[in-house]
Structure 1
Amino acid sequence: MTGQLPPHFAAWLALREPADAAARAVDLVDVVRRRLAGAGPLVVHDLGAGTGSMGRWLAPLLPGPQHWILHDRDADLLARAAAGMPAAAGDGAPVTVGTRAGDLTRLTAADLSDASLLTASALLDMLTAQEIERLVAACAAAGRPALLALSVTGRVRLTPADPWDGRIAAAFNDHQRRTVDGRALLGPDAVPACAAAFARHGVDVLVRPSPWRLGPQQAELVGEWFTGWLDAACEQRPELTGPTRAYARRRRAEIAAGRLDVRVDHLDLLAGGG
């Protein structure tokens, strides 16, 4: 994975963090705790850590001393993530943090050899089939459970419905599957591809829904999400730009009035948790 992140990316990650925390499948954490019982001090590798939201959510839910190693290609995001990690687990045990900047799709089993657990959030749908194959191979060879959360499925529901919703969703999903710098992104196809890759390595997989459920209480997030959703759809299909202007005005008025609810479906995947 190469290239620079847009300047507003950190702000977007911060805005979505509460919705991510509310959406993640907590029952998979129960499976992880059972899998790690008696493992001693935990070493958790968080892949594509961003600003550290996965660690802030998960570290308090895991018992005992923990050392988190945060991976990302953006050093500024890593610094922010490390500074924001909790100092203690839910039982008061210490949590320490290290960072590694680099291309996580090039990680090997040797890079993850000390791991007790591998994690990622909102990552898989930004990868290609080849990148997922390499990442799964490294995780499978490391022989540790991997909790990979919040991958988009392509299913979105806006309430009240509008005739334009389906066309915008289809164009957005095509945008998620676009080719960028020669990389054909998987977008909504990422979780099935990842599950199949783990299966080829003989690793069991559990998959759970983790939808965003957004309403008037998340109006700022809904507004930012809607703008990004529509902009991506129109970038993919420029012919939609003019015809959707009235649609955009209607939807933004509904958001401002607290009359729009949005469900954005995601999936959480736990590999090797059995």
Structure 2
Amino acid sequence: MKIRVPATSANLGPGFDSCGIALSEYLFIEVLEDSKNWVIQHNLSKEIPTDESNLLLQTALKLAPNLTPKKLKMTSEIPLARGLGSSSSVIVAGIELANRLGNLHLSLKDKVQIATELEGHPDNVAPAICGDFVVASFLDGDVRYVKHHFPDCDVLAYVPNHELLTTESRSVLPETIPYREAVEASGIANVMIAAILNGNLPLAGVMMEKDKWHEAYRKHLVPHLAAIREICHEEGAYASFLSGAGPTILILSPEEKTEALFARLQALDKQAKIDLLHIDTEGVQVF
């Protein structure tokens, strides 16, 4: 059995903690054989555990504590601590592992609910489970979500050669913002979502760059955002925005503009990685 979970990008600018898209980079978990103890083979960071203390198994055993130990193989294309949902993908994979090995018969809604409770908000886990574009809320312990087709475009991920932990990126956010500013921020998010549902990516892109919830507070942590946004405006991209908590910047581009954008972004920082992706429409899959 092999489990595949897509990377995700949360927020899309003003859709803070509620909007996300699934992307075509993946975490793979392969179940190899029975074992005396749980073992995870991987070639990731040495800091990532290979036993039951791994987040994958912590998640799975929380849902199904009596699972028979297995030898597993973990492979990930998703960079760690870069704002592309690396930890969320592991949580989603752990839920699916428990679901399949423990015969839990979880529904899609069950999986989103459990993943949100474990993660704390649904913006990454919901699209990782459902695929495509998802808008979700987590209120009074209950998750509500809507999946919709995201308009066709190329997706460029500009991944700097340094980590930015979510805890650090969240620590710079204010506890409160003025009521008038909150109304403006909400209106921007509403128009952005409506434009996506309407297939109007040019309008959605304009609103993505007008976020008032988080990017202004995080900009000193991601100084490359301003330079990337200027390039995107000059080259005709739809939008550029901080992916999740950063430091990755996501760029939405018309197909005919992508080559020129890619070249200019590459010239900006030779150590940064630039990935050409697309929207994953399937979410978590089992093969």
In the superposition, the TM-score normalised over structure 1's length comes to: 0.26
Higher helix fraction (1 or 2): 1
